[in-house]
Amino acid sequence: MSRPLIAALATVAAVTVAFTGAVAAPAVAAPKDRAPRVTSDVTLPAPALAEFERGLVEDDRGVKLGGVGSGLYPAGRPGEYWMVTDRGPNGEPKIDGEKRRTFPVPEFAPAIVRVAVRHGKARIVKAITLKKSDGTPITGLSNQEGHDEVPYTWDGLTELPYDPNGLDTEDIVTDGRGGFWLVEEYSPSLVHVAANGRILARYVPKGLKLTGAGYPVHETLPAVFATRQQNRGFEALGISPAERALYIAVQSPLANPDKKAGKASSVARILRVDLRTGRPTAEWAYTMENVATFDPKAEQGDMKISALNVLSPGRLLLQERTDALARLYTVDVRRATNLLRGPHDDPATTPSLETSLPKGVTVATKSLAVDLAAIPGLPGKIEGVTVLDPRTIAIANDNDFGLGSFGEDGRLIDSGVASRILTISLPRPLR
């Protein structure tokens, strides 16, 4: 790794430090002088997709830019952030009793967006569409028949072709050289992207056999991650400058051995990957909260991990959420069992880690750090979280491109949910 890259990553490390706090009862409200406080709340611009991706999107069906809160990371200047859209506007209507994954604007290219927040307003200062090696924009369409959901047109009546280049991007960090690292949900995979949006490499689970992509694909990740639940792949990504590593969390427990097991399980996985090779160096089990005490209105299968920050080597700030509530936990993996290349990386192992946690496996320890659910006025579906300094974090929501329903004319009836970035002051420093 070059000295400039190490120096750039060290700068990121300087503003993130570890926190060791006791578990707080989520239902107990903190005194006002000790509670987290929102200091800034801005709404992001929402241009029509045909305007945002002019020359690429012709008919946006009334859909505006959204979904950019899937990832959030400091862009270097105070008040500026890198954000990333997910795969684009998509729905799940029920047709003849069957839920179908629809893509109302199938030509949409997932994009990295630089946003500046100044004087209570936000503006888009740069947009970078993701591209194949030849510079052609990718799509957000499903990759493989049998592994991914069948893609349909906006009305759920006509099948669309699969696209092996498609990405369902969910989180972002910078690589210190002008480029980016992203995670996505389809394979699931880790993606290295150049400053101009060209995909340099995509790292996928072993045995996936993704063919036909217009960029390099490497099977370096444990095969078991290919058993991710549909639309529940990699969603959280953090960078560790000191370790020259990336930490990745799967959004939900794997569907291992099947979907029913994944929905009922509370055991998720965290992976550490070498920055230089894209190869994993460690893997740990993580126990998610019991939904009955976290969000009694939801089900266990609604629990998700959507954001991750590396505080120091082996210590993480990780977000758990339902669509309605979110909380941040400090997580320590240093004494957890390293599962890498063990029996639990083999999907054939029974019982699976997700169905029966073995006595010999020590899970990562955790403690409540910030109860976002206790802060009034926060949006739902918070997915982007980043540490700005020891007493300040920023969060962003995913508004799903405002997707509500479509009229008979095929035009969107917008949900009215806005994309927002909020800055939150903490009552005591993360340390």
pLDDT score recorded for residue 428: 87
pLDDT-derived band at 429 (thresholds 50, 70, 90) equals confident
Both structure tokens of 141: 């369409």
Across the range 235-261, mean pLDDT stands at: 97
pLDDT value at 318 more than 50: yes
The per-residue pLDDT for range 31-64, each reduced to its tens digit, is 555 789 999 999 999 999 999 999 999 999 999 9
pLDDT score recorded for residue 72: 98
d(CA 249, CA 201): 19
Both structure tokens of 145: 């028949």
Both structure tokens of 292: 């009955």
pLDDT-derived band at 11 (thresholds 50, 70, 90) equals very low
Domains in the chain, CATH or no CATH each: 3-26+34-425 (2.115.10)
Cβ contacts of residue 287 below 8 Å, gap of 6+? Answer: 266, 267, 268, 357, 363, 364, 366
Beta bridge partners of 128: 112
Cβ contacts of residue 144 below 8 Å, gap of 6+? Answer: 162, 164, 186, 208, 210
CB 83 within 8 A of CB 112: yes
Report CA dihedral (47, 49, 53, 56) to the nearest 10 degrees: -160
Does pTM top 0.85 for this prediction? yes
In 3D space, the residue among 83, 89, 84, 85 whose CA is nearest the CA of residue 57 turns out to be: 89
Both structure tokens of 377: 């006025």
CB 382 within 8 A of CB 395: yes
pLDDT-derived band at 430 (thresholds 50, 70, 90) equals confident
pLDDT score recorded for residue 32: 53
Both structure tokens of 206: 């072993």
H-run or E-run covering 10: helix 3-14
Both structure tokens of 401: 């491109």
Strands 199-205 and 189-193: antiparallel
The three-class DSSP label of residue 348 is: coil
pLDDT score recorded for residue 28: 45
The three-class DSSP label of residue 168 is: coil
67 φ, ψ to 5°? Answer: 70, 5
Across the range 155-165, mean pLDDT stands at: 97
Peptide bond into 257 cis (omega under 30): yes
